[in-house]
Structure 1
Amino acid sequence: MTAPFPHLLPRQSVPELQVPIVGGRTYDIRKETPAAFSLVLFYRGFHCPICRTQLKDLDAKIGEFESRGVSVVAISTDVEERAVMTSLDWQLPHLRIGYGLSLATAREWGLYISRSRGKTSLGIEEPDLFSEPALYLVRPDGTLYFGSVQTMPFARPHFSDILGAIDYVLKTDYPARGEVEATFEPAEAK
C-alpha cells in the first residue's frame, strides 16, 4: 500500500515554495506581499499545447489580477532552458515564469506527477517526469484560500471565472471553504 496522497487544506499554511524565475530572480511565496492573494499556477511545461493557451490568456490578464491585489506566477518542473523558451516562444512578456520545481515540492503541494509519453502534438519531447496542472490562491498570511488540482491537462479553470470569483470574495469577504479534515459516517453528514 502506498502512502496517502498529500493535499492542502484551506485556512492552513501552504508549504514552502522557492523557485528561480526566468530573468534571474527567485520566487519565494513567503516573501510575496499581495494585497489580496498570490495566484500560483502550476503548469505541465514547454511541451504542453494546452499550457501554452492557458499561459497566454493569463499573461493577457495580468493587469486585471494586479488591479485586484493579486500577484501571479506560473511554475513548472522544466529546466531553465525550457522555461526561457516558454517565456520567449509563447510571448509572455508580463508573466513570471518559475522553473526547476522539484518533484518532492510538487508532491508537497498535492500535484500529480506523470511520466513521459514521448512527443506531444507540438512535436516537443515531454520530460521523463513532470507535474500536472494546479491553480492556488494563497492569502497574504500564507494560508490556502482556493485550490484546483488536476490529474489531466484538460478542462482547466478559466481566468475570467477566477477574476469574477475574486471580485465576489473581496466584496463579500467570503470565507475559504473545504477546511473540514475529519471523515464522517453517512449518518453524521446531515
Structure 2
Amino acid sequence: MTQLTPLFPRQQVPALSVKTLGGGNWEISDAKPENFTMVVVYRGLHCPICGMYLKDLDRKLADFKERGVDVIALSSDDEARATQARDDWKIENLTLGYGLTLEKAREWGLYISAGRGKTSVGIEEPKLFVEPGLFVVRPNGELYFASVQSMPFARPDFAAVLKALDFVIANDYPGRGEIVDHLAQAAE
C-alpha cells in the first residue's frame, strides 16, 4: 500500500481528472477561477452525512461563485452511484465528479476505508472508498488550504469557509503550513 503523504500549501497539487455527471471530464489543470478552485471529496452514495454536507454546499454555491471560487465535489463512486446520490440528495447546481481512483486519492493525501456492509440508510458501502477532503487551490495550481479526514464527521463548515475566504481575498493572506522540513528550516 502506498504511504499517505500530505500535500503542502504553496506547492503544486497533483494532476486530477474525473468524469462529471452530465458528460465531459473535469481537470484541475483546466480550472481558471478568479480566485480559487475548491475540490470537495465525499465518501459516496452510502454516506448520509455526505448527502447533508453536499446539499448545504449546493445551497451556498452562488456565494462561492460571488467570491470567484469554482467548486467541484467528487468521489470514488461510479457513474450510477453518483447519479443516484445527486438525485436522492436533490443536488441541483453542484458539479459532481465520479470515478476518483484510489491511487489518485492517495496522491492527494486522502484516507481510504474498507466497506463494512450496509450503512444506516441501507446502502452497501463499496469494498474500498475515500474518506472526505476539502482542498482550496489557487489558479496557478498551488495548494492554498486542505482539510483531510479519516472519518465522516466534523467537516469544515461551508459558512465558515466563506467567511475565511472573505478575509483571505481582502487581505491577500498567504497559504499557511508551507514548511516541509522544519528541522532544516530551524537550522537556517
TM-score by length of 1: 0.95
Give 1:26 shift.
Answer: 1.1
Query: Per-residue CA shift, 1:24-77, capped at 9, x if unaligned?
Result: 121101001100000000000000011001000000000000000000000000
Q: 1:63 to 1:91 in 2, by over 3 A?
A: same
Hey, what's the Cα distance between the residues in 2 that align with 1:14 and 1:165? 21
SS in 2 for 1:23: coil
Q: 73-82 or 84-93, which moves further after superposition?
A: 84-93
Q: Does 1:74 align with 2:73?
A: yes
Hey, what's the Cα distance between the residues in 1 that align with 2:132 and 2:64? 19
The root-mean-square deviation of aligned C-alpha atoms, in Å, is 1.3
Match of 1:20 in 2: 19
Give 1:184 shift.
Answer: 3.0
Hey, what's the Cα distance between the residues in 2 that align with 1:4 and 1:83? 28
Match of 2:87 in 1: 88
Residue ranges of structure 2 left out of the alignment (5+ in a row):
none
Hey, what's the Cα distance between the residues in 2 that align with 1:71 and 1:12? 19
Structure 1 runs, 4 residues or longer, greater than 3 Å off: none
How many residue pairs get matched? 186
Hey, what's the Cα distance between the residues in 1 that align with 2:2 and 2:182? 18
Give 1:6 shift.
Answer: 1.1
Give 1:88 shift.
Answer: 1.2
Give 1:86 shift.
Answer: 1.1
Residue ranges of structure 1 left out of the alignment (5+ in a row):
none
TM-score by length of 2: 0.96
SS in 1 for 2:159: helix
SS in 2 for 1:123: coil
Query: Per-residue CA shift, 1:139-174, capped at 9, x if unaligned?
Result: 000000000000000000000000000000001110
Contact 2:4 2:111 in 1 (8 A): no
Match of 2:97 in 1: 98
Hey, what's the Cα distance between the residues in 1 that align with 2:43 and 2:14? 20
- Percent identity between matched residues is 53
